[in-house]
Amino acid sequence: MATLQVRDVVKRYRTVTAADHVSFSAEAGRILGILGPNGAGKTSTIRMITYITTPDEGEVLFEGTPVGPWSQRRMGYLPEERGLYKKLKVGEQLLLLAELKGLARNEARARIQYWLDRFGATDWFDKKTEELSKGMQQKVQFIATILPEPDLIILDEPFSGLDPINSELLKDIILELKASGCTLLFASHRMEQVEQLCDDICLMAQGRVVVDGPLREVKQRFGKDTVLLEFAGSPAFLDPLVATERVRIINKTQQRAEVRLLNGTLPREVLEAALAGVEDVYRFEVMTPPLAEIFKSLVGKRPEEMARTEDPQPAEATA
Amino acid sequence: MRNIWIILKSEFIRRVRSVWFIVITLLAPVLIIGIAVLPGLLTVMLSGTETKTVVVDDATEVLLPRLQAEAEEQFVFTDRSTVEGDPRAAVRAGQFDGLLELPAELRGGDGQPTYYAAESGGLAFGSQINRIVRDAVQTQRLEDQNVGADVQRIFRERVSVELLTLTDEGAEADGTLVYTLVGYIMGFFIYVAVLIYGSMVMMGVIEEKTSRVVEVMVSSVRPFDLLMGKVLGIGAMGLVQLATWGVLILGGAAVAGSVAAFFIDPSDFDLGADASQEALLEAASITIPSIAPSLIVWFVLFFLGGYLLYASLYAAVGAAVEQQQDAQSFSLPLMMLIIIPIVFIIPIADSPNSTLAVSLSLVPFFSPILMVVRAAVTDVAFWQLALSYVLLMVTFVGAVWVSARIYRVGILMYGKKPSFRDLIRWFQQA
């Protein structure tokens, strides 16, 4: 049975329906990616899972029982909008959050030191939070999330603001937690990041689930209609294909192009055009489209476009 | 409950160890006493040091020696005949502080003495010169009428009325003035404390919201627990501050008593050299007002009740906004509720058992200040104190219930500043 089940959940705010009959489930030992542009309803849904808000309709079950204060203790949540108490020291901050999750002080102390060591922050215990940089605060927040060893970990944009080295470290720890049997929820609007990490995905747009399931299955459902080319020469050979709506460019540089085949175009047509127009071809691959493309096929717009066209709204509505 | 306790502890420790708290707690009594004592001290010091030199143009020819006899250290009277030239010019030139002209008719009962000075002498000076001249003229006129020394002494005497209160123990010195003062100070303290501690709760909530730590917090604790933990934590801090001030003031009063006793010479009051400190102070009519323990208990109880009521409402205001400036339109009504009782302190202290006083001191939003004022000034019936407190507590529970609902929704709201209508919607929505 799935650890977490979100069943037909509806959450309405005055002007918007933030979650419109949302259903999905997450299983232990797997990472579920909740994807969508800003305003898709990710944070609204997560708030109902963490029992910060309650759904207007539907229910959220954790291990088969409706969520409540009891389940809050077993979940770790790193919100996208996160912060720390400025006047507390790092150690006090972590102790406070751990104690609220029901952890004994001595146990919490030992674990705090372990995690500070792992993040190369051994002597931070007595450091003032005010003195930390944004990236450093982010590490403290992540430690606070996983410190009580929750069974369900929810990370909303965990990589934003981290440098590549720390991103790598975070990724390793996420995979470790997954291996130890945790259920992980990973919310992001950056699709390429999710593709690398997630086992399952749940694509959301405007409060609805657009598609969900194991990542591989979702991608295969869309077939292999994307061509990747690496070449020497000008990418101008693509222009006539684009003009006649044979392909659409996903991204292109001077040596590399990723295109989606439209209107029954065959992969070989792209290759032939390339051979005729460039000096040499190094790589030619037919593959499944990236998630952002799948999103576009389903919703009609790329995720970035939706985020941009959306009016700024209060957090209750956009989140 | 456990979570409320954890939050309470964290809030309390965080604030009590701040430099701000330590400085205010230790310095406030010094500052308050300083502000109260300094003006008096300055007056005494300044008036004591300055001596005025006055030229006297005495046409009566008998008053000058009397003036010189009446004048204490602060005046030196010089005869006009010893001054060469125009005495007015001498005053203008700064040779003398002033010129006193006493017309000849003054002795007979007519004419007015005049005092000329180059610059205004100040409030105390006017009444001093007035008194000296008046006494000198009075004595002279009495003597001219051959009035005996006995009668002269009668004229000089100032009779004062001793005010006493009848109690079970007999007649006691009346402390109306002292107790009115005590009531005023206590009421005013509650006013300031509720306002300051309430704003601290509000700013704490705003800080939690703007630093975005609140979302992590409410994923671990119920918003109600977070709200109560914060209110109680800051309340505990307030109690510690209050207790420290209490100890400092009581200690200060004890020290002040010993210091005062040290300067009193027992023989001045026909007491033996081994007279007790109390006896000495009593003889010198220096009384340190005794405050009934029950008054202190009610003071602390009403302070806590008032704080809890207003702080929970301030928390709701904090949850509604993101910046302190935006809080004004919401905190203004609260501020009005706190200020209204201040206006009534004086009339209520004047007639503490009037219908107005009794009814206002039962109104929950006013009772923390007004009931304490009444309790300080007069013996308030126990049922009134108890009823007032029960009403206050019931209102507090209601206020927390309303606040918690607004708070729950408000802490997660960002963006446009909400209107009062929004707050009502949040309340219904929660």
Same domain, A81 and A33: yes
For residues A35 and A20, state if they share a domain.
yes
User: Which positions 277-316 of A are in contact with B (Cβ < 8 Å)?
Assistant: 312-316
pLDDT value of position B289:
56
Q: Residue B333 and residue B337: Cα distance in Å, rounded?
A: 6
Q: What is the largest CA-CA distance in chain A?
A: 71
Which of these three, B99, B120, B155, is where a domain ends?
B155
Q: Which of A50, A85, A316 sits opposite B413 (nearest CB)?
A: A316
Is residue B305 domain-shared with residue B385, that is, in the same domain?
yes
Interface confidence (ipTM) of the complex: 0.82
Kindly state whether residues B370 and B339 are assigned to the same domain: yes
- Residue B141 sits in a domain whose CATH number is 3.40.190.10
Is the model's pLDDT at A182 over the cut of 90? yes
pLDDT of residue B161: 76
Co-location of A212 and A263 in the same domain: no
Best of A47, A56, A77, A99 to mutate (most B CBs within 10 Å, chain B) = A99
B53 touches B97 (CB < 8 A): yes
| Same domain, yes or no: A187 and A129 | yes
Q: What is the pLDDT of residue B251?
A: 78
Range name among A293-297, B303-307, B368-372 with the lowest pLDDT average? A293-297
Inform me whether the pLDDT recorded for B84 exceeds 70. yes
- Could you read off the pLDDT of A63-100 as tens digits, one per residue? 999 999 999 999 999 998 888 998 899 999 999 999 99
Q: Are residues B188 and B139 in the same domain?
A: no
Query: What was the pLDDT predicted at A184?
Result: 95
Backbone angles phi, psi at B311, to 5 degrees: -65, -40
Whole-number Å distance between alpha carbons of B309 and B318: 15
Please give the sequence-ordered ranges of beta strands (E in DSSP) within B253-391, or none if there are none. none
Residue range B316-337: average pLDDT? 87
- The domain of A201 spans 4-220
pLDDT over 80 (residue B288): no
User: How many domains does chain A divide into?
Assistant: 2
Structural domain count, chain B: 2
A:126-145 residues touching chain B, CB 8 A cutoff: 141, 144
Residue-wise pLDDT for B387-410, tens only, equals 999 999 999 999 998 988 888 888
A293 lies in some domain: no
Residue A301 lies in a domain: no
A273 within domain boundaries: yes
Measured between CA atoms, how close is B416 to chain A, in angstroms?
7
Which distant-in-sequence residues (6+ apart) come within 8 Å of A235 by Cβ?
A: A252, A253, A254, A257, A278
Which candidate, B379, B375, B357, places its Cα nearest to that of B366?
A: B357
Q: Are residues B196 and B294 in the same domain?
A: yes
- What tens digit of pLDDT does each residue of B244-267 get? 988 887 777 777 666 666 665 555
pLDDT band at B8 (very low <50, low <70, confident <90, very high): very high
Residues B259 and B130 in one domain: no
Tell me whether B428 touches chain A (CB under 8 Å). Answer: no
Residue B340 lies in a domain: yes
Residue A304 scores a pLDDT above 70: no
Mean of pLDDT over chain B: 83
- Whether A234 and A172 share a structural domain: no
Q: Is the pLDDT of residue B367 over 50?
A: yes
> Which residues does residue A203 pair with via DSSP β-bridges, in sequence order?
A35, A211
Rounded Cα distance between B213 and A86, Å, is: 10
- Give tens-digit pLDDT for B130-176: 888 888 888 888 888 888 888 888 887 777 777 676 666 566 666 66
- Residue A271: Cβ-neighbour burial (10 angstroms; 0-12, 13-18, 19+): middle
How far is B76 from A226, CA to CA, in rounded Å?
112
> Given this model, what pLDDT does residue A310 score?
41
Handedness of CA B84, B88, B93, B99 (dihedral sign): positive
Phi, psi of B53 (to 5 degrees): -100, 130
Of B91, B122, B155, the position where a domain reaches its end is B155
Question: What is the residue-wise DSSP string for A162-222?
Answer: --HHHHHHHHHHHHHHHHTT-EEEEEES-HHHHHHH-SEEEEEETTEEEEEEEHHHHHHHT
CB pairs under 8 A between A and B: 74
Query: What pLDDT was estimated at residue B301?
Result: 94
Own/partner long-range contacts of A173-176 (Cβ < 8 Å, ≥24 apart): A173/A118, A173/A142, A173/A146, A174/A31
The residue segments making up the domain with residue B80 are 52-155
Q: Are B164 and B174 in contact (CB under 8 A)?
A: yes
pLDDT at A194: 81
Quick one: pLDDT at residue B81? 82
Q: Where does B22-120 show beta strands of DSSP type E?
A: 52-58, 75-79, 98-102, 114-117
Asked if residue B414 and residue B308 are part of one domain, the reply reads yes
Are residues B15 and B62 located together in one domain of the fold? no
Domain contains B295: yes
* Tokens coding B328: 């004004």
DSSP state of A128: B
Are B182 and B141 part of one and the same domain?
no
Q: What is the pLDDT of residues A188-242, one digit of tens each?
A: 888 877 888 899 999 998 899 988 999 888 888 888 888 998 988 888 888 888 8
Q: Domain ends where: A201, A220, A239?
A: A220
pLDDT tens digits, one per residue of A249-258:
888 888 889 8
Q: Which residue of A has its CA nearest to B422?
A: A14
CATH code at position A43: 3.40.50.300
Contact A79 B212 (CB under 8 A): yes
Q: What is the structure's pLDDT at A318?
A: 37
Contact A85 B213 (CB under 8 A): yes
Helix (H) or strand (E) holding B131: helix B123-144
pTM of this prediction? 0.77
Residues 6+ apart with CB under 8 A from A179: A29
Residues of A in contact with B206 (CB under 8 A): none
Same-domain pairing of A231 and A203: no
Yes or no, beta carbons of B6 and A100 under 8 Å apart: yes
Residues A264, A152 share a domain: no
Same domain, A246 and A172: no
> Does B36 reside within a domain?
no
| A232 and A165 assigned to the same domain | no
In angstroms, the separation between the Cα of residue B209 and the nearest Cα of chain A is 9
In the stretch 78-137 of chain A, residues with CB closer than 8 A to chain B read 78-79, 81-88, 92, 96-97, 99-101
Q: Are A52 and B218 a contacting pair at CB < 8 A?
A: yes
Residue A230 maps to which CATH number?
Answer: 3.30.70
* Residues A77 and A166 both lie in one domain: yes
Tokens of B168: 């079970």
